[in-house]
């Protein structure tokens, strides 16, 4: 790690240990090497520093809105953690290229297909960028969910620690099975990825993917 990364990790660890009680034993299921797309839900800001620090010493990166680089302090922080700038509302091919390069270099790339924070912890309708990244990079995906910390702002105001739960699923590849990946197939793949997240969550957090009877593994090839 660079000096900047060491400073960030030490600072994040100190802050998150004060703010939360982390139930993260399943993080041992994340492989210790090789490219990986870590597919997650996105509830609030707390999960980002927690995930980054708890996956060390693995090289980890993820996407952040390009406008976050406008302020000097956040620009330093995002550059220190090797974040990938993403332009919202358009097909950002440059961000996709950088993510593919990171995967080929053995990084973990975190992707939250919902695209924004839910705040209440319930899964929102996802966007298909994660499918394109998986198909173009050939990297495996692994579902990882957070829950229990949706009340973080309230517990912080009351000077209480937040319980933070992490669950990790099985790795898999997206396999079109020789089919041309048209929009309909891409959307089916996305739904199958999101139902993997939903299955890891308690029922009250499944949101847009609450009906697990709709889950399918047609395009998922699990790693043994």
Which residue, among 94, 209, 92, has the nearest Cα to 143 in the 3D structure? 209
Domain ranges across the chain: 3-59+89-222
Query: What's the token pair of residue 34?
Result: 């090789």
pLDDT for 34: 96
pLDDT for 29: 97
pLDDT for 90: 79
pTM of the complete model = 0.94
pLDDT for 189: 98
| Cα(79)–Cα(204) distance, integer angstroms | 36
Write the CA distances from 43 to 14, 80, 95, 151, integer angstroms.
Answer: 21, 23, 23, 10
Query: What's the token pair of residue 50?
Result: 């927690």
Mean pLDDT by 10 residues, the chain (224 residues): 89 91 95 97 92 92 94 93 89 93 97 94 96 97 96 88 95 96 96 98 98 96 93
pLDDT for 210: 98
pLDDT for 2: 86
The stretches of 57-202 forming alpha helices (DSSP H) are: 72-80, 93-104, 129-137, 152-157, 183-200
């Amino acid at each position: 790690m660079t000096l900047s990364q060491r400073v960030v990790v030490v600072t994040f660890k100190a802050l998150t240990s004060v703010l939360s009680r982390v139930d993260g034993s399943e993080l041992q299921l994340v492989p210790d090497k090789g490219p990986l797309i870590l597919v997650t839900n996105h509830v609030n800001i707390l999960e980002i520093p927690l995930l980054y620090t708890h996956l060390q010493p693995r090289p980890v990166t993820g996407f952040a809105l390009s406008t976050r680089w406008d302020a000097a302090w956040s620009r330093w922080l995002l550059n220190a953690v090797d974040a990938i700038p993403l332009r919202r509302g358009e097909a950002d091919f440059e961000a996709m290229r950088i993510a593919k390069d990171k995967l080929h270099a053995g990084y973990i790339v975190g992707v939250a297909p919902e695209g924004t924070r839910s705040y209440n912890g319930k899964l929102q309708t996802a966007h298909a960028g994660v499918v394109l990244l998986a198909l173009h990079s050939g990297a495996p995906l692994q579902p990882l969910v957070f829950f229990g910390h949706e009340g973080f702002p309230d517990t912080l105001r009351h000077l209480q620690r937040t319980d933070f739960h992490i669950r990790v699923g099985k790795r898999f590849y997206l396999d079109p099975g020789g089919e041309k990946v048209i929009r309909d197939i891409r959307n089916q793949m996305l739904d199958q990825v999101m139902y993997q997240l939903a299955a890891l969550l308690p029922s009250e957090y499944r949101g847009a993917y609450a009906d697990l009877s709709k889950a399918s593994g047609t395009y998922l090839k699990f790693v043994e």
